[in-house]
Structure 1
Amino acid sequence: MNVLNFAHAFLSDSAHWHGYDGIPTRFAEHVKYSLEALLLAALIGLPVGLVTGHYGRGGNALAMIATAGRALPSFGLLILMVIWLGFGLMPVMVPLVVLAVPPILVTTYEAIRSVDPSPVDAARGMGMPEARVLFQVEVPVALPLVLSGLRTAAIQIISTATIAAYPGFGGLGRYIIDGLAQKSYEKVIGGASLVAGLALVTLVVFWAASRLTVSPGVRRSS
C-alpha cells in the first residue's frame, strides 16, 4: 500500500470526519494555534524590522538574533517550556513564535533597506515626518518582500505546530502522534497530508493578499 493509498484510506473514512477527533475539529485547532503564533510573531518582528530598516541600524544584531532563533530546536524548546511552565498553551506558543520571528524580522528589515532612497529623500525634503516617510513611502514599496517574510513564517508555523499534540493539545499533529503510538501509518500519513494541504492553502492565501494589497506598479517592478 503506497502513500497515496494510505492518505486516501484515511480521508475517505467517514469516521474521521465527525466528533472531537474529526478532521474539521483538528483542522480548526491547527489553524487557531498557527494564527495565534503568527500574530504574536508579527507583533514582535514587524515593528522592530520596520524601525531598524528605516533608520538603517541594527542589521548585524538582527542577523545574530535570526541565526540564534533558527538554531534552536523547536521540539527541544517545547520540552523545556513544558518542564518550566507546565502544561498549557504558553509552552506551545513559545517555540512557534521563536521559530517565526526571525524570517519576519530579517525580511522586513531587508525590505525597507532595499527601497530606492530617491523617493525617501524627496519625501524628507518635502518635510514629511519620519513616520509618514516609513508608512507612506517605504512600506508600500517594500510590501511584497514583507509579505514573503510573513508567508515563510506562516508555513514554518503550520509545519511545526504539529508538536502541539505532544503535550496533549489538538491540531492535525494529533493524528501523527497518535498514529505513531498506535502504529497506524494510515493515520500518520493522513495527518501529514492534511498539514501539507493546509500549507498549500496558506500559499494561495498569501498570493491573494499580495494581489489585493500590492499596487500593480510595485508588482511589475518586483
Structure 2
Amino acid sequence: MDAGGPVTAFGDALVYLNDPFNWTRTGGILDLLVQHLRISALAVLLAAVLAIPIGVLLGRSGGGAGAIVVLSNVSRAVPTLALLTVLAVTPLGFSETGTVLALAAFAVPPMVTNTFVGFREVDRDVREAARAMGMSSRQMLTRVEFPLALPLVTTGVRTAAVQVVATATLAALVGGGTLGRIINLGFGQQDHGTMLAGAVLVAALALLTELLLVVLSAAVTPGPRRWPVRRVRTERAGEPEPTSSGVPL
C-alpha cells in the first residue's frame, strides 16, 4: 500500500458513513445494526439465564472451583468461528438461532466465573448474622448475598456483553447478518474504506455497550456511587478522596 493508502481508506470510510443511502437502504447500516443488537441481546440473555443460576449454586455451595477454572480455560480454547461453522452445518443451518447459540456459549463462562466468585466472597460472618436474625435461605439469597455479590455479577454480564457485541461480526462469515457483513463486503471487494467503516461501527457499538452497562451497573449496585473515572482522576492528582460529607479524609 502506498503512503496515501491509509489516508484514502479513512476518507473513503467517512464518505461511506456520511452517505444517508448506506444507512437507510434495505440491508443497510440501520438494518444490520438492529440485527446485530437483536442477536447480541438474545445471546447475552440466554447466557445469563443459564450462567447466573449455575454460578449462584456453585458459589453458595462452596465447591466447584476446579470446574469453573476448566470451563474458563475451555472457553478460551474453542474458537467462536469454529463453533459458528459447526452449528451452520447442523439442521439449524445459516440461521440467527445458530448464531445466538454460539455466542451464548461464548458468553456463559465469564458470567459463571464472576457470579461464582461474587457469592463465594460474601463474608461468612455476614451469613451467620443473617441466620441469627432468623432469615431463611431464600431471604439470605435475595436480601444479603445477592446484593453483596451484585458488583461482580454485573461485571461478568458486562464483560460477556461486550465480547458478544464484538464477536457477533463473525456471523457474517457463515452467511449471517450483523455489522460484520459490511466488513465482509469490503474485504471481498478489496474496498479498504468499507472495511474500515464496518470496523469503526463495531468498535463504537462495543464502546457504547460498555459505557451503558457501566452506568447501569452503578445504578443497580447498592451503596455509594463510585465512578472509576473520577477515582482515577483523583488518584492521579494526588488528592485525598472526599467522604460523603464532602470533607477530604
TM-score (norm 1): 0.93
Give the total of aligned pairs. 220
CA contact (8 A) 2:33 2:178 kept: yes
Asked whether the equivalents of residues 46 and 108 of structure 1 are also in contact (C-alpha less than 8 Å), the reply is yes
Partner of 2:231: none
Q: Which moved more, 1:193-202 or 1:79-88?
A: 79-88
Q: Name the counterpart of 1:10.
A: 16
Structure 1 match to 2:33: 27
1:47-76 CA-to-partner distances (Å, cap 9, x unmatched) read 000111112121111221221122101111
- Give the match's secondary structure for 2:94: coil
Q: Show the 5 A alignment for 1:44-59.
A: 44-59=50-65
Contact 2:52 2:115 (8 Å CA) reproduced: yes
Does the alignment pair 1:214 with 2:239?
A: no
Shift of 1:219: 5.0
2:83 maps to 1:77:
yes
| Structure 2 counterparts to residues 103-182 of structure 1, below 5 A | 103-182=110-189
- Stretches of structure 1 that go unaligned for 5 or more consecutive residues are none
Structure 2 residue corresponding to 1:202, chosen from 209, 226, 234? 209
SS in 2 for 1:108: helix
User: Would you say the 8 A contact 1:141–1:218 is kept in 2?
Assistant: no
Residue identity opposite 2:115 in structure 1 = T
Give the one of 97, 104, 107 matched to 1:100.
107
Deviations 1:80-104 (A, max 9, x none): 1111232222321222111100000
Moved more, 57-66 or 86-95: 86-95
Corresponding residue number in structure 2 for 1:68: 74
Distance, in Å, in 1 between the alignment partners of 2:226 and 2:119 is: 16
> Do the aligned residues in 2 keep the contact of 1:108 with 1:149 (CA within 8 Å)?
yes
Q: Distance in 2 between matches of 1:173 and 1:167?
A: 11
How far apart are the structure 2 equivalents of 1:185 and 1:80? Answer: 30
Please give the alpha-carbon distance, in whole angstroms, between the structure 2 residues aligned to 1:132 and 1:142.
15
Residue identity matched to 1:199: A
Q: Deviations over 1:150-180 (max 9, x none)?
A: 0100011011101222232221011011111
Once structures 1 and 2 are overlaid, which stretch shifts more, 150-159 or 13-22?
13-22
* Superposition deviation, residue 145 in structure 1: 1.1
Please list every run of 5 or more consecutive structure 2 residues that lacks an aligned counterpart in the other structure.
Answer: 1-5, 228-249
CA distance, structure 2, for counterparts of residue 214 and residue 10 of structure 1 = 41
What does the per-residue CA deviation read over 1:96-140, in whole Å, with 9 as the maximum and x for residues that have no partner? 111100000001100111122221111112221212212210111
Measured in 2, the distance between the counterparts of 1:154 and 1:19 equals 28
Shift of 1:211: 2.3
- Residue 9 of structure 1: how far off its partner (Å): 2.2
8 Å contact from structure 2 (residues 87, 98) kept in 1? yes
C-alpha separation in 2, matches of 1:42 and 1:55? 19
**Percentage of pairs with the same residue:** 36
